[in-house]
Amino acid sequence: MATEFHNLQELRHSASLANKVFIQRDYTDGTVCKFQTKFPSELDSRIERTLFEDTVKTLNNYYAEAEKIGGQSYLEGCLACLTVYLIFLCIETRYEKVLKKISRYIQEQNEKVYAPRGLLITDPIERGMRVIEISVYEDRGSSGSSSGSSTTSSSGR
Amino acid sequence: MIIRKPTRKWEKLPGKNTFCCDGRVMMARQKGVFYLTLFLIVGTCSLFFAFECPYLAVHLSPAIPVFAVLLFIFVMAMLLRTSFSDPGVLPRALPEEANFIEMEIEAANGNVLAGQRPPPRIKNVQINNQIVKLKYCYTCKIFRPPRASHCSICDNCVDRFDHHCPWVGNCVGKRNYRYFYLFTLSLSLLTIYIFAFNIVHVVLREYRSKKMFHVDSLTPHCTVLEVLVCFFTIWSVVGLTGFHTYLISLNQTTNEDIKGSWSGKNRVQNPYSHKNIIKNCCEVLCSPTFPSVLDRRGVMLEDSSSPTHSDASAASTHKSSNPVSQTTKSSAPLIPNEHTPDEAKPGIGAGTQKSTSSPKGEKPPSPTSPNAVAPAVIKESTH
């Protein structure tokens, strides 16, 4: 049964968590932060494959941008070393800036794409950059089988 | 009105770290050797500045003590940065994630006959056309990312784990390896510098003994002491710097070198090396500064009845001793403190993780599914 939610607020108040899907890291390119774009079967009925893949690919691009070793990272490193790393008290590292962009992107995706489908993406940084956690919600009224994992969103608490 | 101090996430992080300055500083539990390091460096340099520098500044050049001061400041900054920062600790898996992984493992293993030992939990991944085995960590309940290892002293999985260094009182991992390297490098330079100028000082005194100046009877003793300390330090620290320079040029960690992961004919070649010394050095020393994934200073949501999520940030304070208690929490009916991304603060600060709020004294039995392997059986401890 398709569950429709108009926004994140509704999702929190009228839905209960049914399941969580974890998108694992893709290590084929080494230790850079990259997530698998393989579409999990649990989301088959909830979201279109292309939308999901787009989200993961965009996230991967963001992380690649953050971890890129190039002119800017050399400059940052040299400048930081010369100032005995005190410069990081004043300015943000490039990685932190990209993480903020990622956070905004995830929030935007949640609002526009995932919440209307009863899903919620958790920022990977909150899970140690190990997984992308996608929470699957069921409408409280319609679903009688709330899973025992019983994680509810923290909004009410 | 009593304002209760908010509980910060570092207070609930598992593992065996100690935290200071309300979560800003993160170190290992045993700090004795670190204090010794501090004492040796500060003590020797103080003697140098007090006894040798006045003479050298007057008779040779004032630039000598100035450069010594700069070098000393750099050494101390690198030491403190290495010691106090999060080495790249990987947070433990939350119960749902742990269960998800368990289910995957069970599905992969199929039915294990009673009495038969379950197969080891290993995942094979292909990195740059080499097969690398990822091991499962029974403490942290995750498959360790490549190059990560579990430090038994700190009881954490650390990303790109190099080694646990008692001299700096912390693990050396992805986030603080470059500071560690710069510390050993600058300390080598400082030691050689002090050693050399002590010799110069002694030689000058011999040749200028006819000059009228106040002979301080304490000075020769201090010089001898400094020379002794520097002599022994040079052998160890310069050697260590050389060793790490070699490792960096090959893009290897101490852990991999000791275990012989990439050596030998039948073994896999190092898949992380760029086969180019400059590129390897650049990657290790000039790569972007990775943020900590442990949110040490994040505030825990007030809810004593259910386990609170502690952020995955590397700043893990290990006040709770038993990570097993975390899995018990998964059977608790409600976990109300889970942040939705909507509420999460942007950047590193956001994040929640189930904290082990179980009573510290008790060790609740871990929920065991029929096919689960006892966590205590295989525990990778690396040093």
Instruction: Please report residues of B whose CB lies closer than 8 A to that of A99.
Output: 291, 346-348
Query: If you write DSSP's letter for every residue of B36-78 in order, what string do you get?
Result: HHHHHHHHHHHHIIIIIHHHHHHHT-THHHHHHHHHHHHHHHH
Instruction: Please report residues of A whose CB lies closer than 8 A to that of B291.
Output: 93, 95-96, 99, 125
If one counts every other C-beta atom within 10 angstroms of the C-beta of residue A30, the result is 15
How far A58 CA sits from the closest chain B CA (Å)? 17
Could you write out the three-class secondary structure of A11-66?
A: HHHHEEEEEEEEECECCCCCCCCCECCCCCHHHCCCCCHHHHHHHHHHHHHHHHHH
pLDDT tens sequence across A85-116: 888 888 888 899 999 999 999 999 999 999 88
- For residue B328, list its beta bridge partners: none
pLDDT tens sequence across B284-337: 888 888 889 888 888 877 654 444 343 434 333 333 334 333 333 334 343 344
**What ranges in B271-352 are assigned the alpha helix state H?**
277-286, 324-329
Distances in Å between the alpha carbon of B211 and those of B61, B64, B216? 18, 21, 14
The per-residue pLDDT for B368 is: 39
CA angle A95, A96, A97 (to 5 degrees): 90
Q: What is the mean pLDDT of chain B?
A: 77
Q: Does the pLDDT at position B95 exceed 50?
A: yes
The per-residue pLDDT for B284 is: 86
- Which residues in chain B (190-249) have CB-CB distances under 8 A to chain A? none
Write down the domain spans for chain B: 16-87+169-286
Backbone angles phi, psi at A99, to 5 degrees: -60, -35
How far B144 CA sits from the closest chain A CA (Å)? 9
The per-residue pLDDT for A155 is: 44
pLDDT tens sequence across B173-222: 999 999 999 999 999 999 999 999 998 988 888 877 655 445 556 677 78
The per-residue pLDDT for B303 is: 52
Mean pLDDT of B261-284: 82
Mean pLDDT of A126-151: 70
If one counts every other C-beta atom within 10 angstroms of the C-beta of residue A146, the result is 16
Which secondary-structure segment (H or E) carries A119?
strand A119-122
The percentage of chain A sitting over the pLDDT mark of 90, rounded to a whole number, equals 39
Would residue B140 show up in a list of annotated catalytic residues for this protein? no
- CA-closest candidate to residue B97, choices B377, B352, B343, B365: B352
Backbone angles phi, psi at B41, to 5 degrees: -65, -50
In angstroms, rounded to a whole number, what is the distance separating the alpha carbons of residues B164 and B382?
9
Backbone angles phi, psi at A47, to 5 degrees: -145, 150
The per-residue pLDDT for B329 is: 39
Backbone angles phi, psi at B181, to 5 degrees: -65, -45
pLDDT tier, B272 (very low <50, low <70, confident <90, very high otherwise)? confident
- CA-closest candidate to residue A107, choices A94, A120, A116, A98: A120
Longest dimension (CA), chain B: 91
Pick from A64-73, B157-166, B275-284, B310-319: least confident: B310-319
Instruction: Please report residues of A whose CB lies closer than 8 A to that of B346.
Output: 99-100, 103-104
Interface test with chain A among B72, B83, B89, B96, by most A beta carbons within 10 Å: B96
pLDDT tier, A16 (very low <50, low <70, confident <90, very high otherwise)? confident
Q: Does the pLDDT at position A14 exceed 80?
A: no
If one counts every other C-beta atom within 10 angstroms of the C-beta of residue A43, the result is 19
Whose structure tokens read 């060790």?
B363
Q: Does the pLDDT at position A62 exceed 50?
A: yes
In angstroms, rounded to a whole number, what is the distance separating the alpha carbons of residues B5 and B299?
10
Q: Which residues of B197-220 are buried (b: 16+ CB within 10 A; e: fewer)?
A: bbebbeebbeeeeeeeeeeeeebe
Tell me which residue in A30, A95, A151 faces B96 most closely, judged by beta carbons: A151
Q: Does the pLDDT at position B357 exceed 60?
A: no
ipTM of this complex prediction, to 2 decimal places: 0.81
Closest-CA residue of chain A to B304: A157
- CA-closest candidate to residue B171, choices B72, B94, B88: B88
The percentage of chain A sitting over the pLDDT mark of 70, rounded to a whole number, equals 80
How far A117 CA sits from the closest chain B CA (Å)? 16
- B348 three-state secondary structure: helix
In angstroms, rounded to a whole number, what is the distance separating the alpha carbons of residues B9 and B355?
8
The per-residue pLDDT for B90 is: 93
Q: Is the model's pTM score more than 0.80?
A: no
Tokens at A151, concatenated: 């994680």
Q: Does the pLDDT at position B275 exceed 70?
A: yes
pLDDT tens sequence across B101-158: 888 888 887 776 777 777 778 888 888 888 888 999 999 999 999 999 999 999 999 9
- CA-closest candidate to residue B205, choices B193, B195, B216, B194: B216
Max mean pLDDT among B83-92, B325-334, B358-367 falls in: B83-92
Interface test with chain A among B82, B134, B342, by most A beta carbons within 10 Å: B342
Cα of first residue to Cα of last residue in chain B, in angstroms, is: 49
Whose structure tokens read 């295989």?
B378
Tokens at A133, concatenated: 């956690």
In angstroms, rounded to a whole number, what is the distance separating the alpha carbons of residues A58 and A18?
26
The per-residue pLDDT for B352 is: 38
- Please answer yes or no on whether B147 and A31 come within 8 Å at the CB atom: yes
- Residue of B376 and B115 predicted with greater confidence: B115
Mean pLDDT of B367-380: 39
CA count, 13 A, side-chain hemisphere, B31: 16
Pick from A31-45, B124-138, B364-378: least confident: B364-378
Catalytic option among B165, B171, B222, B230: B165
Tokens at A17, concatenated: 């968590």
Q: Does the pLDDT at position B38 exceed 90?
A: yes
